[in-house]
Structure 1
Amino acid sequence: MRATDHDHKGHGRGAPLGRVTLAHDERTLRRKLLTLEDGTDVLVDLPQTVKLEDGDVLVLEDGRHVDVAAAPEALLEIRARDTEHLMALCWHLGNRHLPCQIDYAGARLLIGRDHVIAAMLEGLGATLAEIEAPFSPLRGAYHEAGGHGHHHDHGHDHHH
């Protein structure tokens, strides 16, 4: 089986053929053989590299689809004293070009575990906890200028 397209979560495609669970750095794909949770192999053969998020789908040549799930990863949960402190912590992480997930609802930042960065953050007054959770860091400013990364007709009119 071959996946030749993808779609974003929330586009409601019905029951999937299967599911593949991937870490954040495994969800950047163009051409790769993936094994679904049930052992089925699917060749991803996309026209360009895409960054898949939790809940996105890979679309097979025959129209069926495979759900993409974010795998739990070893992360550092970072909490700040207040909003100003949180912004300063974001600046320090961004200055080091680290993949970072901003959880607005939980008022926390998530990054991959790194003892050197953990020591820096503790020195800056952050509260840290080691957790296991799916990781969906923000994309960089230069990742996909001008769009959301795929160019095909969904068959209905909408905007992202």
Structure 2
Amino acid sequence: MPYRCTTILPHGTGGDRTPIDVVVLAHDQRHVRRKLLHMKHDDVVMLDLKEPVQLGQGDLLLTETGETIEVIAAEEALYEVTPKNRLHLVELAWHLGNRHLPAQIEGERILILRDHVIRDMLTGLGAGVREISEPFHPLRGAYHGNGHHHHGHG
């Protein structure tokens, strides 16, 4: 019988609880309300929340029996986009936003999912683009409701 979870403990609020297992989820799998999640060691947990949430790296799913399951952000195939300067970063972010692409915008780089057409556009705009693989924490758009939205940026 699967575990059942109706409560999320945001990263850093679980005290000294030791998780019994982990769920590894890509960025688009971490926006959830009700879903059966497969844990790393072949068990399952039924997530059944009142409202959709954006799960973050290190969040804990609190089961009805008091155990916790840690959320791990999966590594994803990404492009690391590097600008010439700060103004160029803003310009590149505008072009990506204009195409409604999920993007993780940081001080010196932007991370996006790999897409050769977008890569060609960015290199044409003078950006540095290289393939990387790491957890992806894109910004949530303004039209995605008012649920629990936080992102782990290690």
Give the TM-score, by structure 1 length. 0.86
Q: Deviations over 1:59-96 (max 9, x none)?
A: 11122211000000000000000001001001101111
Aligned to 1:153: none
For structure 2, the 5+ residue unaligned runs are: 150-154
RMSD: 1.4
Query: 1:53 aligned to 2:56?
Result: yes
- How far the C-alpha of 1:52 sits from its partner, in A, is 0.7
Which of 27, 30, 35 aligns to 1:27? It is 30
- How far the C-alpha of 1:134 sits from its partner, in A, is 0.4
Which of 65, 70, 76 aligns to 1:62? It is 65
For structure 1, the 5+ residue unaligned runs are: 150-160
Q: Which aligned segments of 4 or more residues in structure 1 are displaced greater than 6 angstroms?
A: none
Aligned to 1:141: 142
Aligned to 2:152: none
Q: How far apart, CA to CA, are the structure 2 residues paired with 1:55 and 1:101? A: 18
Other structure's SS at 2:120 match: helix
Query: 1:38 aligned to 2:41?
Result: yes
Other structure's SS at 1:94 match: helix
- More displaced stretch, 84-93 vs 5-14: 5-14
Aligned to 2:113: 112
Q: Deviations over 1:75-132 (max 9, x none)?
A: 000000000100100110111111000133xx11000001111111011000000111
Q: How far apart, CA to CA, are the structure 2 residues paired with 1:103 and 1:16? A: 30
Which of 59, 80, 84 aligns to 1:81? It is 84
Identical columns (%): 51
Q: Deviations over 1:11-32 (max 9, x none)?
A: 1332112111010011111111
* One-letter amino acid matched to 1:144: G
